[in-house]
Structure 1
């Protein structure tokens, strides 16, 4: 599969580009970025071509991997789908329901495959744990904590404008939801939402199967407090999301495997654009509640 990369930022450099070069079934054709000099630098580093015209890249490939801010990603993803390109997208799919729906509609109209990269869903240990817990009945409640210290000198994402604007809800909230939804089921209601220190937010969700869950999300936690974890409690006891030492590049490789399989078989991947849209819908509901203080239903 011939694939191009849209984006030249830290995530493109540390995750996507190394994986696209390493995958044995991908031909890394080229890079497009909003800054042409950055695209040339990244392309030269990986022995591929820099494109000044995004449509020229779309015409030369079968698929694209997107490593761009979500508001930029959404429009380009729909454009790429309509050019016949399969989509390896990043989370969140979009930051408005309208943008997300436009991507899903383009995917449905053209029949291209799509995979949204939620890291925990593509790490071997955590993916296996999620699948195992999804088959267990009787979950009563779940608790997810995703706490980062992003805006520090050591972080490659410290200067990310979209993270500074949208905060933890939109950056790490998708990770938490990607683990909870396949286990506890669809979200019936964002029952409560509250601000914490910095950009920290606390959410309470009700799931259609009867379980509830709580999420604590932050990009501004003290470095010593940073970390992520999920705890499930139910009739069978307690289950904790295992830590993984795989790293992000192997996870992107597995996401690419998922895209290849979906393109070949025509069977949607569990983390396709439709799932990405559902995550966006829940985050919009939570954001609305945080801004208004009035509970809202996602049903």
Structure 2
């Protein structure tokens, strides 16, 4: 599979490009970016072509990996799907339900494979833990805390305009939901949502399996308080999501593997665009509650 990269920002530089360049089962075909000079620089670092036009890249590949803000990713993903290209997408899929629905619909109608890179879902320890907990029943409650110091520490993502605008709900909220949903089931409704310090958001979810869960999400936590923790409580006791120190590059390599498998077999991956859409719907419902209460 020939795969092209759309995007040249920190995430593309740190994760996407190294993972694609080092993956033995794909041919890293080239890079397109909104800034031509940045695309040329990143492409040169990995010995691949830089493309001035998106369509020129699409004409030369079988699939695209997208490392762009969600409002830029959504229309480009639709464009790639309609050109028959498989999609390796970043989270969140989109920040509005219509945009997310359009991506999922385009992928479905074109019959292309799609995978959304929820990092935790492609790390071995957490992946095994999620599968084990999903096989159990009678969960009582769950608690997910995803606290980042993006805006309070030394982060390469601190200057990200979309993160400044949309905050933790849309940046780390997808990670929390990607862990909770396969275990506790879909969300019937978001029962409550409230703002905390900075961009911190608290939310309460009612799941179809009967359990409830709470989210605490932030990009403005003190650096010493940053970290992620997911805890489940049920009839079998208490269990906590294991930490994985492997890093994002190997995880992204597994997402590439997942895309290859989905493209070869025609079987949707659990983290496909349809799942990305569902995450978008839940986050949008939470955002609506926050806006209503603020008003």
With normalisation by structure 1, the TM-score equals 0.97
Does residue 233 in structure 1 map to residue 233 in structure 2? yes
The match for 1:27 is 27
The match for 2:47 is 47
Gaps of 5+ in 2: none
The match for 2:256 is 256
- What aligned pairs does 1:1-299 form with structure 2 within 5 A after superposition? 1-152=1-152, 154-293=154-293
Q: Using the TM superposition, give the Cα deviation of residue 31 of structure 1 relative to its aligned residue in structure 2, in angstroms.
A: 0.2
Q: Using the TM superposition, give the Cα deviation of residue 138 of structure 1 relative to its aligned residue in structure 2, in angstroms.
A: 1.1
Question: Per-residue displacement from partner, 1:194-213 (whole Å, max 9, x unpaired)?
Answer: 00000000000000110000
SS in 2 for 1:60: coil
Question: Per-residue displacement from partner, 1:167-191 (whole Å, max 9, x unpaired)?
Answer: 0000000000000000000100100
SS in 2 for 1:129: helix
With normalisation by structure 2, the TM-score equals 0.99
Q: Using the TM superposition, give the Cα deviation of residue 154 of structure 1 relative to its aligned residue in structure 2, in angstroms.
A: 1.7
Q: Using the TM superposition, give the Cα deviation of residue 152 of structure 1 relative to its aligned residue in structure 2, in angstroms.
A: 4.1
Q: Distance in 2 between matches of 1:134 and 1:32?
A: 39
Q: Distance in 2 between matches of 1:269 and 1:108?
A: 13
Q: Using the TM superposition, give the Cα deviation of residue 293 of structure 1 relative to its aligned residue in structure 2, in angstroms.
A: 2.3
Q: Distance in 2 between matches of 1:186 and 1:284?
A: 15
SS in 2 for 1:293: helix
Q: Distance in 2 between matches of 1:284 and 1:152?
A: 25
Gaps of 5+ in 1: 295-299
Q: Using the TM superposition, give the Cα deviation of residue 153 of structure 1 relative to its aligned residue in structure 2, in angstroms.
A: 5.7
SS in 1 for 2:158: coil
Q: Distance in 2 between matches of 1:103 and 1:170?
A: 17
Q: Distance in 2 between matches of 1:184 and 1:151?
A: 31
Contact kept in structure 1, 2:153 and 2:223, CA below 8 Å: no
- The runs of 4+ residues in structure 1 deviating greater than 2 Å are none
Question: Per-residue displacement from partner, 1:90-137 (whole Å, max 9, x unpaired)?
Answer: 000000110011111111111000000001100000000000000011
SS in 1 for 2:59: helix
SS in 1 for 2:188: strand
